[in-house]
Structure 1
Amino acid sequence: MGPLSPTSPIQQPPHSAGLSYKGLRAAIDPQSIPSPIDAIEIDREQWDDQPFGTLPGGHVPLSTTDYVAIDQGNSSPRFVRMSTWNMPSTSRLASDCEVPLVAIIQPLSDQDPREEPIPLVDTGDIGPARCARCRAYINPWCKWVAGGMRWRCNLCSHETEVAPEYFSNLDANMTRLDHLQRPELNKGTVDFAVPKDYWAPQPQPRIEALYQPVVPTSTSEMRPPEPMRYVFAFDVSQEAMQSDFTRTACLQVLDLLYGYEAQDGTHVDPCFPPQSQVCIMSYDRSIHFYDLLPRGADNPAMLVLPDLDDIFVPMCDGLFVDVRGSQQIITNLLTTLGDGSNRFLETEAALGSALAACLAALAGKGGQVLVFPGVIPTIGLGALTTPEDMSVLIGTEKEKSIFTLQHEAWQELGEQCAEEGIGVNMFFANGRPVDLASISVVSSISGGQLYFHPRFNPVRDGMVLHSELRRLLLRTTGYSCLMKVRCSQGLRITQHYGNFYEPPTSDLTFGTLDADKAISVVLEHTKSLSEGEFAFLQSAVLYTTVSGERRVRVCNLGVQVAGMAGNVFRFADMDAVVCHMVREGIHKMRSQKIAKIQEQLTDKCAAILLAYRKYCATSAPASQLIIPEAFRALPLYTLAIMKSRPLKAQNVVIDVRVYHAHKIMAMGARTTMQHLHPRLMALHDLTMRAAMPDPQTGLIRLPGLMRDSYIFMESYGIYLIDNEELMVLWIGSDASPQLLKDLFEVDDFLHVDSNITQLPVLSTRLSEQLRNIIAHRYAQRGWTPKLSIARQNMDGAELEFADMLVEDKNNAAMSYLDYLCLVHKQINAALTGGSSTNNHRTSFKSAPW
């Protein structure tokens, strides 16, 4: 394959197949087309030295910017991000603008360390004040009437009596005298401590034969909140043991339970919640339970459950124990569990039955399951057959069958876990396909998470696994969660996207919900809104904390209502729109072909840009491409969605496709944007102060980013790219020996060790700068992805690197330049063809590709 342009000093790797633009197009300088980098850097400069006040009326920071939010009655964009911060006043205006009305809600999101913590409000036995009609929670947008005896709900306008214990007189401005002492009346995001009425109910298992819980459950009982319990379940089959996965996982769990010595000699404290209890299981063709109470023996007694069709818990005492009280026996168990040299190893493992056992152990309690499967479950509950390579079906009529569950038991397991308040996290280390399309449903429905380490190598993947486990235990997490999103009169919620269970008669249900999970909701008009007033949104999550407190996290948002298309576009939020587009596309994978979804994505992108032309830039000639400021990079992000692992047309291993679909459906706005358009940074020309601590503040200032294309790279350069899943350090074949010496302590390109998984600690400035960059990103997300070294034209990791350069022609799709020409051609055809906003999509679909 030849170079991308006459000025490109680097050729793409031969594997980077893509589509070419068909037809004539004007010569366009790649340097002049819109790029998200400019907006990202400008936004970072703007909010670098000033806080963001959350009052409505201004532009909010981009999701990729580090900013300090001051809660002024509206939730921070970290918790709720709207697709436009000026709500269209009518459904006609919303339809004309084509901007989807969407909110991305991440209720337990991490805050900036410099921000005030979320206030906790305890109103005692009376509980938080709520609207008598719509059940919304009291918030800063409510009005006080009748001298403070009643309050008017901002969502439904109903007036509710104030409980005597909550009464306060009003001042001349009709504001309560205790306003400043009541966080729920002046903060957009608060936690309410709630009384017994809000305890989780005890659900009755819908499939009684599936398992026999330890504690009989009854739907009439309420579950007292307790500290979260954890179940660790290890695959001890032959393949998991021979890959060293089980031993590595056991030892790393041990480190996190009791602390460990870091490589630099410092002691790292344990991160397991001190008040929580732990249960340890193992499984192969049978399920193994362990009595962890110290009863005088060095090793725990093991109880074996051989009947995989009749799952029950054969013990009560000793199943869950305090980590400190049973330290010696847990240490002995985890130290020896991964050593398979002393026993016969089974070749099969019953993952479904093991999950049923975890469900039985936590029934009536709730908590988290961490399971470490190494092989496909071909026996027991939900037994699966080894899948064939179905990636060849992409593009055929049988494509949709790829994502169909082989066995309904996985769906039933996920639903029961969600109802019981149990989140299932799975760490896969398979050497062969495992049919994630079926198994992943358990994690997706229960609010858990998938982790994927195919062909596990302890040296390469061990540090990443450790980082993932640490993040899972340390991040803000709630269990037995219910979520309800309410909006003001004139709007309604029509769709939810994310990883959760949506029962037909209840609110969104999560076994667990954590700081890294977000959902998106789609709104539509039921009647016209008054221009100049406010539209409101309230998200409420009822959850139990890790420490055992029942709370409600309430996020409130008020946005101005606009009557003109110009204001809708002016305050549009591309980050929220892109998050919605990728989630909607993934949601359609089981019902539509990927080629059709890609076509719809292009249609949507062109429709938004056409709407801006029609209603905000009518005087421009049809041949001129006009893009609104808020959506300058929308074509690039749309193309990036089509190049993402779930939705790209090229053959992708089905397990890989499903894994990435699961992750993206739960990602927040920031992670989604950085995953779709990876951060690329040149390291060979860093300034002396870049990524070095500020002498006064101690903070580091990261160097600027560059565009994701070989066009802008040099063969003498060294580049770091990061897509939130993988970091690749690319080394040009003409890289300076001094640069190599500063980073790797070698002066020859051929001598760089491409198998290293972390950078050597050297005393050079460049080494310190790069390690500071990686450490800063670790602090931002709480975990470290895998690091690969890619020497130009030498290492396999360059294929991954090339695929992440989304502006190039690769991933069975066009280059950004060609795709922009395609979108422009569709818009031009719609304008010159005289189509209306109601039927212009027909012209898009008939436009030549």
Structure 2
Amino acid sequence: MTKYRGGSPRRRDVTESTAAPEPGRPCTSNDGGTVQRRCADKKTGYILKQDASDSCGGDAAIRTKRKTSTNRNTPQGTMHIPAANQSHVDSPTWPRPQGHSTWPAPVSRDRTPATYCPVGGLEKVSAPAGSGAPPRLVFTDCPASSTPPTFPTGPGLEGPQSWGNLPSTDLPPQLGLPAEPSLPNGMSDSCEPSPFPSCHAVTRPPPGGSSTEQAGRAQSPRAQSRYGLDPRLIPSAVKVIEDDRGEWAGQVFVSDTSGQLPPLSSTECTVEDRGNASPRFIRCTSYSFPCDGGAAQSCHLPLGAVVTPLARLGPGERPLPVVMRGAETGCVLSCGGCGSSMCPFMTWQDSGQRFHCPFCGHITEVPWQNYQPTDRGGRRVDSELHPELCRGSYEILEKHTQRECPGLLLAVDVSGQAVRGGQLALVCHQLRALLASLSRDYTSLGKSALRVGVVTYDRSLHLYNLSPALSRPHMLVVTETEDLELPVWEGLLVSLEDGRDAIDCVLEQIPRLFVDAEDTPVSQDLPLRSALKIFKAAGCPGKVLVFHTAPPSDGKVNCSSGPSGFFSSSKTKSPFQPPEPCGSLARECVAQGCSLHLFLFSQQAVGGTWAGHGPSLTGGRVYNYECFQGEADAERFGSDLRRCVEAETGYRAELRVSVSKGLRVSGCFGAFSPGPDPAVISLAAIDWHTALAVQFMHHSSLDEHRGVAMQMRLSYTSSQGERRTRVHSLGLRCSRHLVDTFRNSQAETLLSFYCKRAYCAVLDRPLQAVRDELVTELTEALACYRQHCSSTALTHGQLVLPQCLKALPVYVNSLRKSEVLLPGQGSSVPQRLQLRGQLVAMDPTHTAAYFYPELLPLPLCEQSVGDGAPAAAVRCSGSSLDSRGLYLAHSSLALLLWVGQHVPLSVLSHLFNASSFSQLPCGECCLPTLDNPLSLRVRAVIETLRSCTAFTLKLQVVKQGDHSEEALQHLLVEDKSPNGGASYPDFLYHVHINSLQLLA
């Protein structure tokens, strides 16, 4: 039986997961030159000595063995967070600094040595009597029964207040994040040149459990904290996801209440639209906005929404209703003032004769032919008959518009490299099979005819007249390509139904026509320029699929000195910033609705400006097939090609954002060229997994009783050539209590918002500044929550996190040390450009899966395969791996199968058809098709994970102890990353100490 949940806003049970911070034993120095701090560790008994004169950080600790006493009254299995900027006496309240009458006070940058020494993973700990040790580490939300404190009015609304970020040099040496050294040759990014260690360099069973159960489990050196924190005792993103799935998986979320906190995007549930848009379309950073602008600035949580206008509906969910514009619908479809579409948040007046718009405040008269009276509740009596009155999402079909069936242009590289490498023959074969399948599908479904064209290119352009009136196709060669003009345009785009034979004939003959092709310079920008000309001549939008093999024309890959032509660029402020010619052509593509999709087969990197900026600015994608070989890559290419062509896409799209009076749209972030108005975004094309982030700002106070309403209207041309407008409306609550903003936030949505904003900021800001801003904003938000939303007295040793944001620190740390913001030694500018283009357009589900991948233990015997349920995920750390197990690491862009050294031979035989560990394949491969339960189950899990992504993921087998483990280390986001990023425990410690210093 399906359980319906809805009605009043969901309130989470307030729980406190605690871990006790225990200070070390403070001691004084007689000579004043050394500060000695003793850590009560029964197992190691170390005394840590640090030279007080060493203020540059680093590992200056000297370990000497010493026995210590224990305290039996101290809880076991505790984690220790050292306190900073406090004496050895507990301080139950936060004193206000002298001379400051308003909050927050200026940050004190006076260096204060830490009083306590961090030690983690203790069985028993001791503390001197009367030492004033801080209580246990607390991850808590305010109790439900307590009255949340009212936040005082802050400073001005427009001028953002800043506490400033404490750099590592202003902290004691042990408190700063690890230094990020600069790249050689004056590059502005950071890397760590140290070699990659094995994920299992140290083998020892962790505390707890028998040695037999833990014999194969190991502790990764990258998972160990600099400060001795036990990673098992800090908040777990896996636990947060599991708890949400336990509450909502398989149930129905009813969106009938404004401000209701939805399930996480990773939870599979059914959504029923009863007046608010589904969270599949809109997710907000918080579902309770502050009423006052000063409070909104002081909480340091962005007020925004992540919008996926064409998101796919879940299984069993009703399709969006369609309303005909221009027909006698019986209801007014838009506001007469701002043009906002009708939604359930319009309030009716004078018994339904007029309605009030919450977005502009305009009163619109209702035409007499559309009038209907209202009931006692103020709703029209025919509300349930009209989707625009009772649904949060619906579509408007523009009736009196001319059909513009989109085109599909196939641009194939016919250079010598493509011919000799076999890519040309493969591409033509796959295209023939795809078009034959599409022709059958479109005929059976009765869809409008798809218009298809074919061009080939090297240093010249080859056009093909596919008109059915000709006895056979004609080929036209254009050699003057700098100032490109089409000699003819008729027959370049034809209906797939009418020109099926001609298209198949051309694709069959192309490999033979260019069998003697030479290695000549290839104009990389030529396919897009020619496609734009063809679509303009035909008067339609469309996709251009470019299948490119040749390397850059001059052998350069740096986007600041790329090849000649349109996609070349002069030196810009940032390697991520597109050159002006690229932006100019992208704007032409947006106006025409021309979307570029790149399929790259080059053995060396293609110029970053072309592959990095072209698809991203036009709503397209990049598909990479480096070192193309074997049936596995051919199958992956065929799957990607079909997904690209069959994806439901909107062309010539325009997104308009409306929000309640008192708020305004202050910014929009995503894969598009920004315009003068942040509330209006123009896109060449948009598909089901493309998302944008919108940020709001107060310009006046909000009414706590009215709440907040927002509306996203996407006007686009569908794949059938119809002009439609998709409307999404959502209502939120607003509160004068700042604690409500934190309680109704979601870490996954904040991660997606931060990602899009940070990746847009790298266009004109240094990477270090972007990374520092992420840390500063998180630190200030936690400090604000600690001071204004905690209902109990706290000491410096207590770490307080909002219940709904327990996973936010690990998400932010993973974002700040990503390849785009913190490149490693092996990262190239073209790779980072392509990665940025993919991530900045991702929806919240795939963004969260990329920055915190799933690490799934696989079954090892037939008995565990029987129920068919996959094992629960474990934390993304090397310490979670067992040398006797198999683990599947899955993110939005990667799929790795890790094999431990001590996996039973029977498992290797049933899964890989190998008799020993040394015979296992390493790297990209396909699992053999074996007829046994283990092989069937594992391959089914892999296919399920592949089906949920926009790209067909290649499977990479990683053996324990092999050099290929570095690929896995990039997915273990809780550990120290190979590019120099801090581990999750160290980052959490750093944020905690900085938040304390902000309040000192």
Q: Which of 208, 230, 237 is 1:36 aligned to? A: 237
Give the match for residue 288 of structure 1.
Answer: 462
Per the TM alignment, residue 502 of structure 1 is displaced from its structure 2 partner at its CA by 3.1
2:611 is equivalent to residue 433 of structure 1:
no
Deviates more, 1:679-688 or 1:600-609: 679-688
2:310 is equivalent to residue 142 of structure 1:
no
Contact in 1 for aligned 2:203/2:219 (Cα 8 Å): no
Give the match for residue 422 of structure 1.
Answer: 594
Give the match for residue 480 of structure 2.
Answer: 307
Give the match for residue 769 of structure 2.
Answer: 596
Q: Match of 1:806, as an amino acid?
A: V
Q: Match of 2:822, as an amino acid?
A: K
Once the two structures are superposed, the pairs formed by residues 299-378 of structure 1 within 5 Å of their partners are 300-338=473-511, 342-363=515-536, 364-376=539-551, 378=553
Distance (whole Å) between structure 2 residues aligned to residue 459 and residue 171 of structure 1:
66
Q: Match of 1:643, as an amino acid?
A: K
Per the TM alignment, residue 424 of structure 1 is displaced from its structure 2 partner at its CA by 1.4
- In the superposition, relative to structure 1, how do residues 586 and 409 fare at CA in structure 2: closer, same or farther (>3 Å)? same
Q: Match of 1:673, as an amino acid?
A: A
What stretches of structure 1 of length at least 5 have no aligned partner? 200-223, 392-397, 694-700, 834-849
1:69 alignment partner, SS class: strand
Once the two structures are superposed, the pairs formed by residues 290-689 of structure 1 within 5 Å of their partners are 290-294=464-468, 300-338=473-511, 342-363=515-536, 364-376=539-551, 378=553, 386-387=557-558, 400-405=573-578, 408-457=580-629, 459-504=631-676, 507-617=680-790, 619-651=793-825, 652-684=827-859
Per the TM alignment, residue 274 of structure 1 is displaced from its structure 2 partner at its CA by 5.5
Contact in 1 for aligned 2:809/2:988 (Cα 8 Å): yes
Distance (whole Å) between structure 2 residues aligned to residue 532 and residue 150 of structure 1:
21
Distance (whole Å) between structure 1 residues aligned to residue 234 and residue 904 of structure 2:
31
Distance (whole Å) between structure 1 residues aligned to residue 983 and residue 819 of structure 2:
17
Give the match for residue 81 of structure 2.
Answer: none
2:975 alignment partner, SS class: coil
Per the TM alignment, residue 185 of structure 1 is displaced from its structure 2 partner at its CA by 0.8
Distance (whole Å) between structure 2 residues aligned to residue 369 and residue 76 of structure 1:
32
2:402 is equivalent to residue 234 of structure 1:
no
1:781 alignment partner, SS class: coil
Distance (whole Å) between structure 2 residues aligned to residue 129 and residue 105 of structure 1:
22
> Identical aligned pairs, as a percentage?
27
Distance (whole Å) between structure 1 residues aligned to residue 880 and residue 552 of structure 2:
47
Please give the root-mean-square deviation of Cα atoms over the aligned residues, in Å: 3.0
Per the TM alignment, residue 297 of structure 1 is displaced from its structure 2 partner at its CA by 5.0
Distance (whole Å) between structure 2 residues aligned to residue 437 and residue 692 of structure 1:
50
- In the superposition, relative to structure 1, how do residues 140 and 338 fare at CA in structure 2: closer, same or farther (>3 Å)? farther
Per the TM alignment, residue 678 of structure 1 is displaced from its structure 2 partner at its CA by 0.9
2:254 is equivalent to residue 53 of structure 1:
yes
Distance (whole Å) between structure 1 residues aligned to residue 363 and residue 749 of structure 2:
33
Distance (whole Å) between structure 2 residues aligned to residue 243 and residue 604 of structure 1:
50
Contact in 1 for aligned 2:858/2:870 (Cα 8 Å): no
Distance (whole Å) between structure 2 residues aligned to residue 535 and residue 60 of structure 1:
17
Contact in 2 for aligned 1:234/1:283 (Cα 8 Å): yes
Give the match for residue 247 of structure 1.
Answer: 425
Per the TM alignment, residue 182 of structure 1 is displaced from its structure 2 partner at its CA by 0.4
Distance (whole Å) between structure 2 residues aligned to residue 353 and residue 738 of structure 1:
55
Q: Which of 182, 185, 190 is 2:386 aligned to? A: 182
Deviates more, 1:248-257 or 1:542-551: 248-257
- Size of the aligned set, in residue pairs, is 776
What stretches of structure 2 of length at least 5 have no aligned partner? 1-196, 207-215, 563-570
Distance (whole Å) between structure 1 residues aligned to residue 799 and residue 427 of structure 2:
54
Give the match for residue 955 of structure 2.
Answer: 787
Per the TM alignment, residue 269 of structure 1 is displaced from its structure 2 partner at its CA by 11
Give the match for residue 74 of structure 1.
Answer: 276
2:432 alignment partner, SS class: helix
Distance (whole Å) between structure 2 residues aligned to residue 512 and residue 69 of structure 1:
27
Q: Match of 1:767, as an amino acid?
A: S
Give the match for residue 842 of structure 1.
Answer: none
Per the TM alignment, residue 404 of structure 1 is displaced from its structure 2 partner at its CA by 4.3
If the length of structure 1 is used for normalisation, what is the TM-score? 0.86
Distance (whole Å) between structure 1 residues aligned to residue 474 and residue 762 of structure 2:
47
Q: Match of 1:630, as an amino acid?
A: C
Per the TM alignment, residue 359 of structure 1 is displaced from its structure 2 partner at its CA by 0.1
Contact in 1 for aligned 2:557/2:608 (Cα 8 Å): no
Per the TM alignment, residue 665 of structure 1 is displaced from its structure 2 partner at its CA by 0.7
Give the match for residue 207 of structure 1.
Answer: none
Per the TM alignment, residue 260 of structure 1 is displaced from its structure 2 partner at its CA by 9.8
1:77 alignment partner, SS class: coil
2:267 alignment partner, SS class: coil
Give the match for residue 908 of structure 2.
Answer: 740
If the length of structure 2 is used for normalisation, what is the TM-score? 0.73
- In the superposition, relative to structure 1, how do residues 764 and 803 fare at CA in structure 2: closer, same or farther (>3 Å)? same
Distance (whole Å) between structure 2 residues aligned to residue 600 and residue 174 of structure 1:
47
Distance (whole Å) between structure 2 residues aligned to residue 136 and residue 260 of structure 1:
38
Per the TM alignment, residue 372 of structure 1 is displaced from its structure 2 partner at its CA by 1.8
Per the TM alignment, residue 108 of structure 1 is displaced from its structure 2 partner at its CA by 0.2
Whichever structure has more helix as a proportion of its residues is 1
Distance (whole Å) between structure 1 residues aligned to residue 277 and residue 660 of structure 2:
16
2:293 is equivalent to residue 91 of structure 1:
yes
Q: Deviations over 1:457-502 (max 9, x none)?
A: 3544322222222222222211111111110100000111011233
- In the superposition, relative to structure 1, how do residues 11 and 80 fare at CA in structure 2: closer, same or farther (>3 Å)? same
Once the two structures are superposed, the pairs formed by residues 788-807 of structure 1 within 5 Å of their partners are 788-794=956-962, 796=964, 798-807=965-974
Deviates more, 1:423-432 or 1:480-489: 423-432
Contact in 1 for aligned 2:405/2:540 (Cα 8 Å): no
Contact in 2 for aligned 1:645/1:656 (Cα 8 Å): no
Per the TM alignment, residue 596 of structure 1 is displaced from its structure 2 partner at its CA by 2.4
Once the two structures are superposed, the pairs formed by residues 146-225 of structure 1 within 5 Å of their partners are 146-196=350-400, 224-225=402-403
Q: Match of 2:467, as an amino acid?
A: L
Distance (whole Å) between structure 2 residues aligned to residue 260 and residue 462 of structure 1:
19
Per the TM alignment, residue 355 of structure 1 is displaced from its structure 2 partner at its CA by 1.1
Contact in 1 for aligned 2:419/2:515 (Cα 8 Å): no
2:314 is equivalent to residue 115 of structure 1:
no
Q: Match of 1:64, as an amino acid?
A: S
- In the superposition, relative to structure 1, how do residues 326 and 295 fare at CA in structure 2: closer, same or farther (>3 Å)? same
Distance (whole Å) between structure 2 residues aligned to residue 787 and residue 316 of structure 1:
43
- In the superposition, relative to structure 1, how do residues 400 and 10 fare at CA in structure 2: closer, same or farther (>3 Å)? farther
1:504 alignment partner, SS class: coil
Deviates more, 1:420-429 or 1:36-45: 420-429
Distance (whole Å) between structure 1 residues aligned to residue 743 and residue 861 of structure 2:
35
- In the superposition, relative to structure 1, how do residues 76 and 716 fare at CA in structure 2: closer, same or farther (>3 Å)? same
Q: Match of 1:435, as an amino acid?
A: G
Contact in 2 for aligned 1:271/1:470 (Cα 8 Å): no
Q: Deviations over 1:447-466 (max 9, x none)?
A: 22222233333544322222
Deviates more, 1:550-559 or 1:287-296: 287-296
1:820 alignment partner, SS class: helix
Of structures 1 and 2, the larger Rg is shown by: 2
Per the TM alignment, residue 440 of structure 1 is displaced from its structure 2 partner at its CA by 3.0
- In the superposition, relative to structure 1, how do residues 502 and 268 fare at CA in structure 2: closer, same or farther (>3 Å)? closer
Distance (whole Å) between structure 1 residues aligned to residue 427 and residue 855 of structure 2:
32
Contact in 2 for aligned 1:230/1:279 (Cα 8 Å): yes
Per the TM alignment, residue 641 of structure 1 is displaced from its structure 2 partner at its CA by 0.6
Per the TM alignment, residue 285 of structure 1 is displaced from its structure 2 partner at its CA by 0.5
Q: Deviations over 1:343-393 (max 9, x none)?
A: 2234221121221110000013111111122235549xxxx95539999xx
Distance (whole Å) between structure 2 residues aligned to residue 142 and residue 531 of structure 1:
17
Give the match for residue 717 of structure 1.
Answer: 885
Per the TM alignment, residue 669 of structure 1 is displaced from its structure 2 partner at its CA by 0.4
